[in-house]
Structure 1
Amino acid sequence: MGVNRSFSRFEPVETRHHCRDLIVKIVDDNVDQFVGLFYNTFLSHQEASGFLTHSAVQKRLSHSLRRWLLDLVRTDPSGDLDAFDARQVQIGQIHARIKLPSHLVLEGATLLKSAIGRKVGELGLSGAITAETLILLDELVDYAMRLVTEAYVSDTKRGAEADEALRLFSLGQDINLERETQRAALMEWSHEVLFGLLSKAPSDNPPSLSGSAFGLWVRHRAPILFQNASSLSDLAEVLRQVDEVVLPGLPGRSNQLDAVAELQRRVEEIKYLIGTLFQDAAAVEAARDPLTRALNRRFLPSVLSREMAIAKAEGLPLSVAMLDVDHFKRINDEYGHQIGDVVLGHVADLVMNNVRSSDFVFRYGGEEFLLVLGERSAAQAAAICDRLRRQFLDHTIPLNIGRTLSVTVSIGVAAYAGHPDFEYLIKAADDALYRAKKEGRDRVVLAA
């Protein structure tokens, strides 16, 4: 990592070992107290508490923090530091994934260092030994924090680059087709509302625009395509006004012509904003997975982090599904990798044709695909995935050798429950997929 491994050198060596032994004893005797102090302090910290409220985080982090403290004080500055270094890098990468601000990490390190330092002061040692012990403690903690911070900065930079790459990739799609698709979705919603308004028994609850296919696209896809565009916030505001002002007043309006005119005015305003957004978008080189045309896995952190942020901020459900082609190795072994590629292409097409435009489908690796299903609960996602699974039972794949082939799929589904690390959600879906495989394949299993 390029971190300077310079530590103070005590003379004689026995003094340095003695100081280290003092720190080890203090931490061994008080580690639970230090961990409790950390939690009590940061659970009451307005910014930090949001990262600690999930029960799985508390359980895992409590154990991890305890182990980190014990490992830290036992580290020999003059010994082999490779394993210790690797652990700090891993910690920094986790912090970057969950977007934990680095200043909170440094605040936590300072808190722990101060608590241990006070215990050193209570030992009644000579001034020289106390000073040398505090210097060693300071250097150990600071060395670890340099490694954590460097890894954090490096991973955060890569994440920012992936965010921008995803935006550019999205712009590289067929912009004209996307524009017309969303215009059609908007018009489909408006016709549904108008037909309901003019029917003999008009509904008291017209379908909301934000809950329509177009509304979902605005919330989940458009911010990636048109990042930071001012018209995007204008579009979101018009959608809010339609749902909260225009629609509630429609059934009770005495003059339906006025009601229709008001709705049409809002729809025209939305169409104008859509046109402005697409007009400002520049088509650039795209980067889908070349075989399946699914999203490249490198975009997954950007998408899933953003979807989790939406789910948390708005109290909306979010689910992910891990899909795997059953016995795919057997297909490759029997027919060859070229036929295997044909099969993967058809699998990807069937999956992408059976999700909403606001959902995301990633080529996760090999014959695995990851689906990000925004605003879908675990039960809803499981039902969607089971319908998709049954589609494969009725689907035949034409091969270029004059034969057809059918495949089945196993799917694991997991729902977002507040854990800030997206890898935790992915692992839950992957574990559920493993259970589906173990229980006989060709099934959907919901994560516990």
Structure 2
Amino acid sequence: MSPPRSQTQTRAETQVQTRPAPRPLPPPDDPRLLEDWRRRLDAVPEEVRTLLAEVVAAGGPALADHFYGDMLEDPRASRYLNVDQVRERLKPSLQRWLAELLSAGADGVEALHATQEHVGHVHARIGIPVDLVSRGARRLKDDLHAGIRQRAGSEGLALEAILCADGLVDIALESMTRAYSRSRDAAGQVDGAFRLFSLIQNIGTERERQRALLLTWENALLYALTSDAPGPAAPLQLSRSEFGLWFLHKGMASFGDTAETREVNLIAARMDSTLRARLPEATTAAARRELLDELRAGADAIRSLVTMMFDGIGDLESGRDALTRLLNRRFLPTILRREIALQANTGRQFAVLMLDLDHFKSINDTHGHEAGDRALKHVAALLVENTRGSDYLFRYGGEEFVVVLGSVSLDDAIAIAEGLRNAIASSPVVLADGTSLPLTASIGVAVQDGHPDYERVLARADAAMYQAKRGGRDRVVVDDGGLPDPPGVRALRG
């Protein structure tokens, strides 16, 4: 085995090679938002800008006290906020946010918008009710009004400053809420996909069953329209068939509101309408044959769409890593959100283990990628064998794995992590030529500390795992809240 390069260099390279680049946030779907924001900032007179800066500088601590004091009185806030967190981090952050918002020039709109987007996405990850934020913004504006009136030299200046401050707070809140909505919608889609992934055990069988039911409807239609007395249209409608009922009650719930499901509904409704309108007038065999051909063309279109939708469910196998058969990172946010909610409701702690195979690049370089694949599958099997049925196992990327341990203490989490480390170290992988290749892993452990943002516990586990690498590998390190950030990972400070 070739000698490894420096630990820091190898780790940084591994992150670049194996971790997907973060996807850029989509631009706002209404460019008028930034245009309006830029216009408002351009129109702020210098004396108003100066007055607002004085109000924030003099009253910032009191503004933050009132904002969070009012919010903390809501019983729901206890899940997202605590007194220490508010005092040490959130109040200073709010004062900085307000100062930046009210002092920015028109050339700072993009940065302002990016900040609101970030805040909105964090609020969505945490699940903080949007009305709490709106209520806080309303209280914030009331306090700003009072400070402006106290410091303005004239009613005219006070009115102009109040209108300016209200407009800037409102547009920031709009930007924040748009990001919040996008994140919640995306999370809901993934959560729904996970439910479907969990419930559908044999996608191929279900797909063929529904295709067969659609064919059964076609055969019944064929039999009716080629007979001398086809009967009334109602029993022949696709919406009344077994396939139609399945699609209405289960298919739509499973596939969701997509372009494909809307198209199926549109085609089916058009087919039923055509059948009702034309069957009574189709008194000849030729007319009925023409009607049959048109309806079967619609059924063909529906069959193609249904196949596409089931293939999309098949893509949920992308939720399961093709090589190791563990879950991949797609469903990790869903699981962590559920564990955070469970902890909030029951007090049950959970922990995250971040596991990285040591010297994995050397395995690929020395023995080839087939050996690397064998090593990954071997480790995945060991994770399955040495964890509980209630634990979630993910291939996080490249040679990294994540284990989510539910209902554990810190001692439990450390014991499981040490068991995994020992199992890997004592079980070499056998290569295709019969060679036994020893493996070791570095594992970081982080127990959820009650913070509602799941990315924090991931970042803490990652920092601990990096420390295990730096400390010599083949070891378990527990995050104590004071570890430095790993290379390439931005600590979440929001």
With the length of structure 1 as denominator, give the TM-score of the two structures: 0.72
Q: How far off is 1:68 after superposition?
A: 0.8
Alpha-carbon distance in 2 for matches of 1:404, 1:10: 68
Alpha-carbon distance in 1 for matches of 2:194, 2:331: 6
Candidates 164, 172, 176, aligned match of 1:136: 164
Provide the residue aligned with 2:348 in structure 1: 316
SS in 1 for 2:108: coil
Alpha-carbon distance in 2 for matches of 1:444, 1:12: 55
Candidates 322, 327, 333, aligned match of 2:359: 327
1:262-303 CA distance string (max 9 Å, x none)? xxxxxxxxxxxxxxxxxxxx9963421112111121111111
Alpha-carbon distance in 2 for matches of 1:54, 1:25: 27
Candidates 389, 394, 399, aligned match of 1:367: 399
Candidates 56, 59, 71, aligned match of 1:27: 56
SS in 2 for 1:138: helix
Specify the code of the residue in structure 2 equivalent to 1:36: D
Candidates 127, 133, 142, aligned match of 2:155: 127
Q: Please identify, of 417-426 and 90-99, the stretch whose mean Cα deviation from structure 2 is larger.
A: 417-426
> Which runs of structure 2 are paired with 1:7-26 in the superposition (5 Å)?
7=37, 16-26=45-55
Judging changes above 3 Å, is the alpha-carbon distance between structure 1 residues 152 and 294 closer, same or farther for their aligned structure 2 residues? Answer: same
Alpha-carbon distance in 2 for matches of 1:302, 1:161: 10
Provide the residue aligned with 1:291 in structure 2: 323
Judging changes above 3 Å, is the alpha-carbon distance between structure 1 residues 57 and 370 closer, same or farther for their aligned structure 2 residues? Answer: farther
Q: Please identify, of 157-166 and 291-300, the stretch whose mean Cα deviation from structure 2 is larger.
A: 291-300
Q: Please identify, of 394-403 and 301-310, the stretch whose mean Cα deviation from structure 2 is larger.
A: 394-403
Does residue 1:50 correspond to 2:79, yes or no? yes
Specify the code of the residue in structure 1 equivalent to 2:108: D
Provide the residue aligned with 2:29 in structure 1: 2
Aligned residues: 342
Specify the code of the residue in structure 2 equivalent to 1:146: E
Gaps of 5+ in 2: 1-27, 204-252, 255-309, 481-494
Alpha-carbon distance in 2 for matches of 1:326, 1:58: 41
Specify the code of the residue in structure 2 equivalent to 1:431: A
Gaps of 5+ in 1: 176-226, 229-281
Alpha-carbon distance in 2 for matches of 1:128, 1:119: 15
SS in 1 for 2:395: strand
Candidates 358, 367, 371, aligned match of 1:339: 371
Q: Please identify, of 286-295 and 122-131, the stretch whose mean Cα deviation from structure 2 is larger.
A: 122-131
> Which runs of structure 2 are paired with 1:112-261 in the superposition (5 Å)?
112-173=140-201
Does residue 1:404 correspond to 2:449, yes or no? no
Instruction: Give yes or no for contact 1:56–1:419 (8 Å, CA) kept in 2.
Output: no
Judging changes above 3 Å, is the alpha-carbon distance between structure 1 residues 19 and 410 closer, same or farther for their aligned structure 2 residues? Answer: same
Instruction: Give yes or no for contact 1:319–1:372 (8 Å, CA) kept in 2.
Output: yes
1:409-443 CA distance string (max 9 Å, x none)? 01111112211111111112111111111111101
Judging changes above 3 Å, is the alpha-carbon distance between structure 1 residues 2 and 125 closer, same or farther for their aligned structure 2 residues? Answer: farther
Provide the residue aligned with 2:336 in structure 1: 304
Q: Percent identity?
A: 40
1:294-325 CA distance string (max 9 Å, x none)? 11211111111111211221121211111110
SS in 1 for 2:76: coil
Specify the code of the residue in structure 1 equivalent to 2:423: Q
SS in 2 for 1:79: helix
Does residue 1:89 correspond to 2:117, yes or no? yes
Q: Which structure shows the higher helix fraction?
A: 2
Q: How far off is 1:403 after superposition?
A: 2.2
Q: Please identify, of 331-340 and 50-59, the stretch whose mean Cα deviation from structure 2 is larger.
A: 50-59
SS in 2 for 1:329: helix
Provide the residue aligned with 1:240 in structure 2: none
Q: Please identify, of 160-169 and 327-336, the stretch whose mean Cα deviation from structure 2 is larger.
A: 327-336
1:372-425 CA distance string (max 9 Å, x none)? 111111110110110111111221212224422121001111112211111111
Q: How far off is 1:124 after superposition?
A: 4.5
Specify the code of the residue in structure 2 equivalent to 1:108: G
Judging changes above 3 Å, is the alpha-carbon distance between structure 1 residues 374 and 12 closer, same or farther for their aligned structure 2 residues? Answer: closer
Candidates 437, 441, 455, aligned match of 1:423: 455
1:343-375 CA distance string (max 9 Å, x none)? 112111111221111110111122111111111
Specify the code of the residue in structure 2 equivalent to 1:415: V
With the length of structure 2 as denominator, give the TM-score of the two structures: 0.65
Superposition CA RMSD, Å: 2.5
Judging changes above 3 Å, is the alpha-carbon distance between structure 1 residues 7 and 436 closer, same or farther for their aligned structure 2 residues? Answer: closer
Q: How far off is 1:98 after superposition?
A: 0.4
Does residue 1:36 correspond to 2:65, yes or no? yes
Instruction: Give yes or no for contact 2:386–2:419 (8 Å, CA) kept in 1.
Output: no
Q: How far off is 1:59 after superposition?
A: 2.4
Specify the code of the residue in structure 2 equivalent to 1:318: F
Alpha-carbon distance in 1 for matches of 2:441, 2:476: 9
Instruction: Give yes or no for contact 1:326–1:408 (8 Å, CA) kept in 2.
Output: yes
Judging changes above 3 Å, is the alpha-carbon distance between structure 1 residues 139 and 301 closer, same or farther for their aligned structure 2 residues? Answer: same
Does residue 1:356 correspond to 2:388, yes or no? yes
